[in-house]
């Protein structure tokens, strides 16, 4: 079996909360990520979905080295990143790049497109020699569907979809093996979204890239992902293949998310039962004991006995294979066949 190119083992990231200006005292912590584990194989796409604030983007920041983990390990091709030397970490950072969510604020308005695409080579000058950079930048623009003659233009001269293509070209500049796509189409029109998604898929097939695709749009994630991980309040609550999660969800949170997705067949719309979640997402500074989803779980509120509810309160459900044959973090997981 192919070894994973990237493996995340029990990743934790807490942000301390402090009081005082001069003599700061820690009074708590925001538990943005609280024990996340997954792996990614070469050439595949892992979709990471969940509500805003569940920790998706924090996972991306830790992988990119923008945040240091509080605990846990990140393995690249079986090697713990924490044990790498400075030169090895520098090479590792070349292998993981990002496509940002907002194509308007992620490009420097004072830089030309050519300078934006070539900027990574200033930091890693050994990738492309200076004499070849203009030619290579032209090739990258052509690869993402833009005219190479656009090198001397500025970001304000492009549409949102074109700007995102420039961002993709920049992400490809260092020839990475893994690209984190942090909601790359959420700021674009629907018609442009499809074009960008098709481009991303074509590049993956051509270059063998592995993607971590972060999004809250479940339809987009289903279209592009090989495997899907659903996050809630800093933890993964269900994971499996695209068919497992979308057609046979077993966690109540996943079932509620999917019930809100419009059916692709207009004749079936309105016939799928809608699962409504009550209450607000608990604070990540003080998550509920046991199952973190229990305060909003319709199964907990309406279907369980008192003894079953007590187990949800006392015991945190592990992410293990359950009724549906794929991992789910629910004591009472039950597969729902989605029509």
Is 320 contained in some domain? yes
d(CA 164, CA 47): 19
Is 307 contained in some domain? yes
How does pLDDT run along the chain (339 residues), one tens digit per residue?
578 999 999 999 999 888 877 778 877 899 999 999 999 999 999 999 998 889 999 999 998 888 899 999 999 998 998 888 888 888 888 999 999 988 889 999 999 999 999 999 999 999 999 999 999 999 999 999 999 999 999 999 999 999 999 999 999 999 999 999 999 988 888 889 999 999 999 999 999 999 999 988 888 899 899 999 999 999 999 999 999 999 899 999 999 999 887 766 666 565 667 888 888 889 999 999 999 999 999 999 999 999 999 999 999 999 999 766 799 999 998 887 765
> What total of structural domains would you count in the chain?
1
Is 1 contained in some domain? no
Q: Phi and psi for 277 in degrees, rounded to 5?
A: -95, 135
Q: Outline where the chain has alpha helix (H).
A: 56-63, 86-95, 113-123, 133-143, 160-172, 190-207, 218-224, 242-247, 252-259, 298-302, 306-314
155 near 163, Cβ under 8 Å?
yes
**pLDDT tens per residue across span 75-122:** 999 899 888 888 888 888 899 999 998 888 999 999 999 999 999 999
CA 292 to chain CA centroid, nearest Å: 20
Both tokens assigned to 81: 């990143």
Checking phi first, is residue 97 left (phi over 0); if not, alpha (psi -120 to 50) or beta?
Answer: beta
Q: What is the pTM of this model?
A: 0.91
d(CA 142, CA 150): 10
Is 19 contained in some domain? no
**pLDDT tens per residue across span 174-197:** 999 999 999 998 888 888 999 999
Range of the domain at 301: 246-339
Q: How many CA atoms lie within 13 Å of 262's alpha carbon, on the beta-carbon side?
A: 5
Q: Phi and psi for 282 in degrees, rounded to 5?
A: -60, 160
Q: Phi and psi for 145 in degrees, rounded to 5?
A: 90, 25
Specify the 3-state DSSP secondary structure of 151.
Answer: helix
Is 227 contained in some domain? no
Is 137 contained in some domain? no
Is 50 contained in some domain? no
Is 304 contained in some domain? yes
d(CA 56, CA 233): 10
């Amino acid at each position: 079996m192919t070894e994973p190119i990237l493996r995340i083992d029990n990743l934790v990231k807490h942000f301390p909360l402090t009081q005082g200006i001069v003599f700061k005292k820690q009074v708590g912590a925001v538990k943005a990520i609280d024990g996340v584990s997954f792996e990614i194989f070469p050439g595949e796409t892992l979709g990471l979905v969940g509500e805003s604030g569940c920790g998706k983007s924090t996972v991306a920041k830790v992988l990119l080295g923008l945040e240091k983990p509080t605990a846990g390990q990140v393995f690249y091709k079986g090697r713990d990143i924490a044990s790498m030397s400075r030169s090895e970490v520098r090479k590792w950072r070349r292998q993981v790049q990002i496509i940002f969510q907002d194509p308007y604020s992620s490009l420097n308005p004072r830089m030309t497109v050519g300078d934006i695409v070539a900027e990574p080579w200033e930091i890693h000058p050994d990738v492309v020699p200076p004499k070849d950079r203009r030619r290579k930048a032209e090739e990258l623009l052509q690869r993402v569907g833009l005219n190479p003659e656009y090198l001397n233009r500025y970001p304000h001269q492009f549409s949102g979809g074109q700007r995102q293509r420039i961002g993709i070209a920049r992400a490809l500049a260092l020839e990475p093996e893994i690209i984190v796509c942090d909601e790359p189409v959420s700021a674009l029109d629907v018609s442009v979204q499809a074009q960008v998604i098709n481009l991303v898929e074509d590049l993956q097939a051509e270059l063998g890239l592995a993607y971590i695709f972060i999004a809250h749009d479940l339809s987009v994630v289903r279209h592009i992902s090989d495997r899907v991980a659903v996050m809630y309040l800093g933890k993964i609550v269900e994971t499996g293949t695209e068919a497992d999660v979308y057609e046979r969800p077993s966690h109540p949170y996943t079932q509620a998310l999917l019930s809100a997705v419009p059916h692709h067949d207009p004749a079936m719309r309105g016939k799928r039962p809608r699962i409504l979640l009550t209450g607000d997402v608990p604070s990540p500074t003080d998550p509920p004991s046991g199952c973190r989803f229990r305060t909003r779980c319709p199964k907990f509120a309406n279907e369980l006995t008192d003894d079953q509810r007590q187990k949800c309160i006392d015991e945190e459900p592990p992410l293990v294979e359950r009724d549906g044959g794929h991992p789910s973090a629910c004591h009472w997981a039950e597969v729902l066949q989605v029509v």
